[in-house]
Homo-oligomer: A and B are copies of this chain.
């Protein structure tokens, strides 16, 4: 199970409430893991019981009080243990591929609209990721003294957290690009098969 661990990572990056976590899962965490607020509240309760997180009641004005969660030492070592254990790659699940293969027994051309719609959604997601990348990770000027940078106090030290967040974002970008390209390929195939609607 990785939801616990995704929550630990997010809370280590910044403590927050269940609601805030749910928003992060909609945004930045969403390109590698998803969860709804119902799931998050349930898991936070279990993590609290297990002593993986600490809770702080934060009274607020003009809005409901919230519980701010942060990672406890026990949670940190639970994350470390999980990081050192091997995991298996996820099995892929593409409902759209079931439809594409099923179209052979129905009307291939009838699927074109649906595939176009999916292509559009992936293109939008790609544009969104690229905008996020341009905002949060502007390209750095190339380093002209390789090897010396590590000892140069004037050079910006690479922040591992930032670098790794960017690497994961590049994965989201690569995924959406791949999907747009493949759906274009599928559209070509569908159009070649039956020029009728």
Contact = CB atoms under 8 A, between A and B. Distances in A.
Stoichiometry, copies per complex = 2
Interface stretch (A25-33, A41-49, A56-64, A130-138): A25-33
A23 interface: no
Nearest to A84: B110
A123 to B, nearest CB: 12
A-side interface size class: 35 or more
A65 to B, nearest CB: 28
12 contacts: A31-B97, A33-B94, A84-B106, A86-B114, A89-B122, A101-B168, A108-B164, A163-B192, A163-B193, A167-B185, A174-B178, A175-B182
Interface of A: 2, 5-6, 8-9, 12-13, 30-34, 76, 79-80, 82-84, 86-87, 89-106, 108, 110-111, 114, 117-118, 121-122, 158, 160-161, 163-168, 170-172, 174-175, 177-179, 181-182, 185-186, 189, 192-194
